[in-house]
Structures are given as structure tokens and as C-alpha cells.
Amino acid sequence: MSGMKKGPFLNRELSWLSFNRRVLEEAQDRTVPLLDRLKFLSITGSNLDEFYMVRVGGLLQLERGGVLSEDPAGLSPRQQLEAISREVRRLVRQWERCRVEIEQGLAKAGIVRLNPALARDEQRHHFLRVFERELFPVLSPHAVRSFRQFPLLPGLATGLAVRLGDPERPVRRDRYAVVVIPRALPALIAAPEEGSGYAYALTEDVVKAFIGRLFPGEQVGECRAFRITRNADLSVREDKAGDLLERMRDVLAERAWSGCVRLQVESGCSSLLERMLRKALQVGERETFRMEPPLDLHSFWGLATMPGYEALREPVWAPVLPPVFRRGPSVFALLDRQDILLVHPYDSFDPVQRLVEEAADDPDVLAIKQILYRTSRESPIVAALARAAGKGKHVTAVVELKARFDEARNIEWARRLEQAGVQVVYGVKGLKTHAKVCLVVRREAVGLRRYLHFGTGNYNEITARLYSDVSYLTSREIFGRDASRFFNAVTGWSRRLPYEKVAVAPDGLRRRLMELIEAETVNARRGEEAAITVKVNSLSDPDIILALDRAARAGVRVRLNVRGVCCLKPTRAGGGIEVVRLVDRYLEHARILRFHHGGKPLLFISSADWMTRNLDRRIELLVPIEDAACRERLDEALEIYFRDRCKLRRLEPDGEWRRVEAGEGEKRLRAQAALYEQARALAKEEKARGAEGVFEPERPEAGLP
């Protein structure tokens, strides 16, 4: 891998691209069912869209501003952009080969992509009817009279560039037009197919097949698809923002029309037409990519997730509801007796949702305080908060308006909650509120009691079935005091009092992590056993990386499971650093930390990745897990992540990721399947033990792996 400098650092952008290449490997894996392969291919496309919008957009701004400073891996903005371009071109070639292979496999299974221009007569007539009835009334051709009059197209829009005029005529007589395919239109159009098969065409291919009908009396010399990506690396200047809600709306508008950072053009596009597009959009050769349609790989998502064809997908793993939540007592009564740790999506997210819903309807609940970073479109948790406020409870919701690409939804929820009587706080000035915590205050015979949920994932019941996260439910008073101090600091002018158990960014989380790493380093230097085992999504903070490197050189065994960006180059010095990555059917999202601590391990869950922005510019939580049963479950889950021998990759000192194979006599374990089996086994054990003499009939579990 290029971009390696002497020292423990790898380039952030190239590390991210290696993650997206790893996702593509799942699409290339012939042991993965075809529609799941198509889903992974779609994900790589949407991932790369966001990468260009956020990371490349920022680098282009630095390059155009003449910034020459190097990143920790020793690359200037221009060198990074050139390396990114080379790697993305390699990725595009792999995409296209993979897409062709998947489409060929799907065709054999009866799912066929058609070219409307070459389809059977009845299918072509069907596409023509769809064009005339559903597409033609919506489409608006734009004449391009000069580069300065090129239409202002929204980001991620697919368009058709049209050259009008006879190809035999002189170039000077050619004229150009652009037809935008509105994103409100479906990406795919179904066609009649005999038998039980499914035939479809890309919407842009249907429009291309009948493009002449948009230009009566003209001769279409060329028509090619193109797609633009705009810079979304825009943020609010909060010192000048005035009304934050209004300023966020301005940012969303600016993002839709900001500078173009990538141009995708259909293969076969003439150099004449491509030059017109590049000049009009002010895009260089380095940011221009030729590829076969669809240019938007995410357009395959609807096909990959359509109902039916279950034989072309992995079996569903139905989330397990722990039996203690099936037997009737309220969440409050349950948490009075025990702490509960859930590993999602293997354990159901319902208990978390139930905590908020019961709190909304319980007459003894006085207050609910909650962080909302990302929620679903029809969130039952948001609905419960609004219902609670309507019943006279004091409800506070910290809604983070700056949650990238969810800003519009969060603005909508904020307004709805305010109208329902919820006290809405729009995050904290200068910081992004990324912590995951809910606090419920209830009046009981012994006085006020606080019930809590801490998590690594968002309060989103949809993504809770797709992301791997951890939830911790407790009524321990010491955590309740910390949670109250936390909310007072976030929502008011309260002086930040010291916390008893949790660590909070940006005040103390970085310091706590450095203390924990240093303590292991000191123990190793004394000749004692020392180890650090961590699972995070990203690792890029230079200070943390240097501290881990020092720890390894002192003899600490450092094991890191980093799903995405990892800027730490592993070593074999001393105790050594092992870095692995797991990509499978669920998106790994949990942050779990374990420090050996002289043989009395310290276990934590956290909302924070080990990135500078999380530790210094976000409000995050680090929560210790001290309950014995919860610690045992969390510890087992953490170890399973490192024992995977199906999907795991190891980062080598040369910067390349290589498959971790099972050794002789070693079980070929698949971590996510093992975690699901663990959840089912624990549920069965609990059923077998029974509860308070209550017997429950055994029922078959759905969706066995």
C-alpha cells in the first residue's frame, strides 16, 4: 500500500478505501448468495459516494488553497488525491467485473436486466408506454448554449448528456442538451416476463431508448449517461449561525449545489461529449471516471431487497427476545432485580424501545431524558417521547442537528417534538452530541429511582436489525447520578462536576483512555502480564496510535478489531500489535474495550471511536460494565470477534489486509453466526431455569442459520 511513512502511521483515506474494497470482497465471494452479493455491491457504491462528498471534497479544498502540509503518513493533499484516484480506478474495474458476474448468475435464476432498445417487441412496447405515461411528463430537457448556462444539477443526480446533430457534420454545428433523471423516479422499471422470472431495465436506459421523443425534429448524434457528486464537507459556523435550525437548512441547500468533486461518465462516451461535461462542471481528468451503467450502484438496492427469491439470500436470523422480557413484569421491575446487557442484532432491540414506551405510559414516571442522534423515519421511540410529553411528563430530547446526512430528518423530528411539548435541545455549540443514553426518572415507594440505557448504537429500530451493537440497561444509582450530571451539563449552564463511573468526551474520555493504556504499559515494563483488547469502528487519532505503539514496544499485547479506517501500522515488536477487521452480513458498530489491569480486567462499552473528532469535538460516553453476568457476556462476545476464521482479515506491516485462515485443528468459526447461536443458547438456558416457578412452553425458533 502506498502512503506509508517510517513510523506507526497509515494514510486515513487509503485505509478507508481498503475497507470499501473489503466490502466489495463480499460481493465477489461466490459462497455468498447472489442477492446478498448484489447488496454488498450496492453498499460499496453508496460508501464511495459519501467518501467523495466528505473526504475528497475536503482534500480538493486544501489542494486548491495551496496547502502543502503532510498528514501523519507523509502525504500532501495532492499526493492523497492522486493515490485515491489510482485506487478508485482499480475499484471501478473490480466493480464492473463483479457486476457482470452477479447479473449473469441472476439471469440464470430468472432475474434478468434488459436493454430496452434490444428487448422483445412486447417488452419494448411496455417500456414505451412507461416512458410516455410516467417518464415523459416528468423529464425536462435543458439546452446547453454555453458552459456558463449548463443547468445546475443536484448532487448524486444521474443525467443524460445529448449531442444533437448529424455525426457527419462539422463539430461546430453540434448542439448539446442535458436530461436529468429525477431522483423521485424509480431506479429500475419492471417488464413483463414469462413464467416466474423477473425482468427489469434501468430507468436511464429506458429514457435513452426513447430519447428522440424529447427532441422532435432533431437528430440525436449521441446520448450518454453521466453522474455528478458534489462536495458535502460543509459545516455550520456556529459563532455566526444565529438560529441553528435555519442555518442547518442553509447548509443542506448549499450541499445540494456545491462544487462538483467527481464526474462519472458512461463508457463509450465520445471525447467531445466528455470534454463538454468536464468543462461545464469544472472537473479534472483525475476526478473523472468512465464506467458501464448503472453509474449509481445503489440503484441495485431495491432489487437486492425485493420480496421473494429467498433462496438467493442467506436465511433470516430472527432477533432473540430474552425470556425475562416475555414473562410480563415491567422493565422497571426487571431492572430493580438485575442489570441486562444485550448484543444486537442477535438480541432484540425491543427491550430498549420498551423502556421508553413503558416510561411514556407509566403514571409514576416523572421525566425522560434522551439523546437522539439518528432515528428511523417513523420512530416509535420519538412517538413515545411525544406521547409522554402529552401526558404531562417532563421530557427532554437532545436532537443532534449536525448528524451528517440525517440533518433533514432530525430537523423534522425536532419540530414535531417541540409541538408535542418536549423540551428540545439542539446539541451543544461547537460539538456534535454522539453519546447514546436514555434516563428515566420514576417515583417509587423508596423515593425517586433512575433507570438507564447506555448504548453503542443509535435509537433506531431499523438499523438495530442491521448493525452489531451493545446495549446496557441498569438502575444502579451511581450510574444514575452520572447520567443526571451529564444531562445537566449538556442541556444547561451546569458546571461540569466530576463523574463517578463514566468518562465523557471532550472533557475526560481521552484522558481516561490514555491513563488505561499507560497503566498497561507500566505493568509490562515491570515484567507483569499486560494486554489491551479493543473493538472500534475507526482508529486514526495520532496520540492514541503513538500510545498503543509505545505499549506494544514495552511488551503489552495489543489486539485491535477495527472495522473501517485504521491508521495504525501493526508491529511485531515486544508484545506486538495485531489488527484485524470483520465484515459480514451485519455492519459491525459496537465499541468494546478490555484492559488486563493486573489480572482484574476492566471492561467498557463506548459511543466513541478512536478518532480525534470523537475524542475532542464530540460529546461521547465511555461506560464501565461491572455486573458479573453482563461482564461475562460482553467478554465472550469480544473474544468471538477475534476467533473468526471465515470473514476476518489481518492487517500486515506492509499495509495490506490478508485473510485469517483456520489453523490445523482449529474450528472454522464465523463470528456473527456464533454470536447469534450464543444469544439463542442463553435464551434457552434461561427458559430451562424458569422464573419464579412459571413454566413457559417451548416454541421453535424461526430463522436458524
User: What are 515-557's pLDDT values in tens digits?
Assistant: 999 999 999 999 999 999 999 999 999 999 999 999 999 999 9
Cβ-in-10-Å burial (0-12, 13-18, 19+) of 9 comes to buried
- Confidence band for 172, pLDDT divided at 50, 70 and 90: low
Q: Look up the CATH number of the domain holding residue 41.
A: 3.30.1840.10
Convert the pLDDT of each residue in 571-623 to its tens digit: 764 458 999 999 999 999 999 999 999 999 999 999 999 999 999 999 999 99
- Residue 81 three-state SS: helix
Co-location of 292 and 357 in the same domain: no
**Cell numbers describing residue 52:** 467523495
- 613 CB contacts (<8 Å, ≥6 apart)? 432
Number of Cβ within 10 Å of residue 373's Cβ equals 22
Q: Which of 94-108, 136-150, 160-174, 270-284 has the lowest mean pLDDT?
A: 160-174
Percent of the chain clearing pLDDT 70 (strictly above) = 89
- 665 CB contacts (<8 Å, ≥6 apart)? none
Count the domains in the chain: 3
Co-location of 146 and 248 in the same domain: yes
Distance in angstroms (rounded) separating the CA atoms of residues 198 and 307: 12
Residue 704 included in any domain: no
Sign of torsion, CA 675 678 684 685? negative
**Cell numbers describing residue 84:** 485515491
**Cell numbers describing residue 236:** 455550520
Residue 305 included in any domain: yes
Distance in angstroms (rounded) separating the CA atoms of residues 553 and 161: 58
What average pLDDT does the chain have? 89
Closest CA to 584 of 5, 16, 89, 43: 43
**CA distance readout (Å), 255 to 54, 158, 251, 405, 418:** 10, 17, 6, 10, 26
pLDDT tops 80 at residue 193: no
**What's the rounded mean pLDDT across residues 272-286?**
92
Distance in angstroms (rounded) separating the CA atoms of residues 209 and 186: 17
CB 503 within 8 A of CB 605: no
Residue in the structure block whose three cell numbers are 450510574? 479
pLDDT tops 50 at residue 702: no
Co-location of 155 and 47 in the same domain: yes
Residue in the structure block whose three cell numbers are 454555453? 146
CB 200 within 8 A of CB 214: no
380-394: burial string, b at 16+ Cβ within 10 Å, e else: bbbbbbbbbbeeebe
pLDDT tops 50 at residue 247: no
Convert the pLDDT of each residue in 650-684 to its tens digit: 999 888 999 999 988 888 999 999 999 999 999 99
pLDDT tops 50 at residue 455: yes
**What's the rounded mean pLDDT across residues 254-277?**
83
- The residues annotated as belonging to the active site are 434
Pairing of strands 437-444, 365-372: antiparallel
Residue 44 included in any domain: yes
Tell which of 455, 479, 498 closes a domain: 498
**CA distance readout (Å), 515 to 231, 521, 547, 597, 624:** 38, 10, 10, 11, 15
Co-location of 200 and 216 in the same domain: yes
- 387 CB contacts (<8 Å, ≥6 apart)? 360, 361, 420
35: left (phi over 0), alpha (psi -120 to 50) or beta: alpha
Residue 1 included in any domain: no
Number of Cβ within 10 Å of residue 547's Cβ equals 19
**CA distance readout (Å), 613 to 14, 130, 510, 526:** 19, 48, 11, 34
Question: According to the model, what pLDDT value does residue 257 have?
Answer: 42
pLDDT tops 50 at residue 242: no
Question: According to the model, what pLDDT value does residue 157 have?
Answer: 87
Residue in the structure block whose three cell numbers are 447488496? 39
pLDDT tops 50 at residue 698: no
Co-location of 549 and 669 in the same domain: yes
Co-location of 623 and 485 in the same domain: no
Closest CA to 21 of 535, 564, 559, 539: 564
Q: Which residue has the higher pLDDT, 226 or 257?
A: 226
Residue 418 included in any domain: yes
**What's the rounded mean pLDDT across residues 199-216?**
95
**Cell numbers describing residue 520:** 498497561
pLDDT tops 60 at residue 255: no
pLDDT tops 70 at residue 191: yes
Residue in the structure block whose three cell numbers are 438480541? 347
Distance, C-alpha 548 to centroid of its chain? 26
Sign of torsion, CA 346 349 350 355? positive
Helices (DSSP H) in 422-565: which residue ranges? Answer: 477-491, 509-525, 542-554
Question: According to the model, what pLDDT value does residue 574 have?
Answer: 44
Question: According to the model, what pLDDT value does residue 704 have?
Answer: 38
Co-location of 158 and 292 in the same domain: yes
Sign of torsion, CA 327 333 338 344? positive
**CA distance readout (Å), 35 to 30, 101, 107, 110, 319:** 11, 12, 12, 12, 21
Co-location of 293 and 400 in the same domain: no
Co-location of 83 and 231 in the same domain: yes
Question: According to the model, what pLDDT value does residue 168 have?
Answer: 57
Convert the pLDDT of each residue in 329-351 to its tens digit: 899 999 999 999 999 999 999 99
Q: Which of 80-89, 376-385, 397-406, 407-416 has the lowest mean pLDDT?
A: 397-406
Which residue range(s) make up the domain with 160? Answer: 12-312
Angle between helices 34-51 and 77-108 (to 10 degrees): 160
Distance in angstroms (rounded) separating the CA atoms of residues 17 and 384: 40
Q: Look up the CATH number of the domain holding residue 584.
A: 3.30.870.10
Tell which of 477, 498, 519 closes a domain: 498
Distance in angstroms (rounded) separating the CA atoms of residues 39 and 34: 9
Co-location of 195 and 343 in the same domain: no
Co-location of 283 and 358 in the same domain: no
Residue 2 included in any domain: no
Pairing of strands 467-474, 587-588: parallel
Question: According to the model, what pLDDT value does residue 695 have?
Answer: 42
Quick one: DSSP state of residue 135?
Answer: I
CA Rg value for the chain: 27
Distance in angstroms (rounded) separating the CA atoms of residues 513 and 520: 11
Residue 701 included in any domain: no
Distance in angstroms (rounded) separating the CA atoms of residues 285 and 280: 13
- Element housing 226 (H / E): strand 220-230
Residue 695 included in any domain: no
Distance in angstroms (rounded) separating the CA atoms of residues 617 and 637: 30
Distance in angstroms (rounded) separating the CA atoms of residues 155 and 405: 13
Co-location of 423 and 301 in the same domain: no
Q: Model-level pTM greater than 0.75?
A: yes
Tell which of 261, 278, 312 closes a domain: 312
227 - beta bridge partners? Answer: 158, 264
Number of Cβ within 10 Å of residue 409's Cβ equals 15
Question: According to the model, what pLDDT value does residue 330 have?
Answer: 92
CB 311 within 8 A of CB 340: no
